[in-house]
Structure 1
């Protein structure tokens, strides 16, 4: 499941198995490190966003039979957890619950070592809170006459007019500005300003 799309098969090599073994060893070490000293403090907003976005991604990928990308999301989230100074119980337990469909035996053992009742496979899959799925900002590339000149950070619901106004204020674009008005704006994820600057 880790090596490629579920419905396309794949070449199963020993080095691929070694990679997933290293991943599971890291999970084991992380849980063992925190099993007796997990603070139950409330998570900060960034930690909650990381957790709930991972829950959402893994759930969606499982339902779409995209097991390899679900595992990739779990690997990425493991990097996030390992980089933190401390972890809460909800982070560790949610992680094990998400990993359980892919690694049933090791997650059952770790669940038990955390003092939880049998069995992890009788627990509900974590639910993503929609509140933490909305990005605070999105990155918009600004192109002038076909070339990307800078990027802007905007709210997801920002209007095109707000994006253009912010682009005009950007210091990195000042040397390209020679007209008071934008003649044409194209796109949403990429703000393309046509005839906004020297050719």
Structure 2
């Protein structure tokens, strides 16, 4: 009887010991994420946008707000001084030496790439003096169709993000009477891009 009891106790201790060995260790708290931009661990790679998991959405604008901002944008972008004529010193454009650089600067200002290329070809040229290439402004009367924000214009939506604006310039003395048409795209960040700028002469 005593041998049986000892065998049972030994078996019980063996089961308890096995159970303790196979039991999972308690979870440990992971170390805080490093700010060094390490990779391989969850939470160690910095989030884009300065650490924000989700960038703040751009506030919705009413159509009237959008139209007002487009009017301001068109007035600025179609005026030579505030739009496509880049900073220059006596006609020599600063900080560029090639026409593709001019096109890129215009694109960054809010013109579509095709429109930036058109304006580059129309108002800029490369010239070499003393072995140095520079970009100079071609003296012209400006591109026709300068938008007048105080004058009437028609706004038509062409899809969710595209607006087509038309404005009559029937008393223009420099270029003669014409109707200007502009296509403006509302970008995801709430800014605007001038995609096209055309004129129909009367």
Q: Structure 1 or 2: larger strand share?
A: 2
**Common fold: TM-score over 0.5:** no
| Higher percent of residues as helix | 1
Larger Rg belongs to: 2
**Which bracket does the TM-score occupy, shorter chain normalised?**
under 0.3
TM-score by length of structure 2 reads 0.21
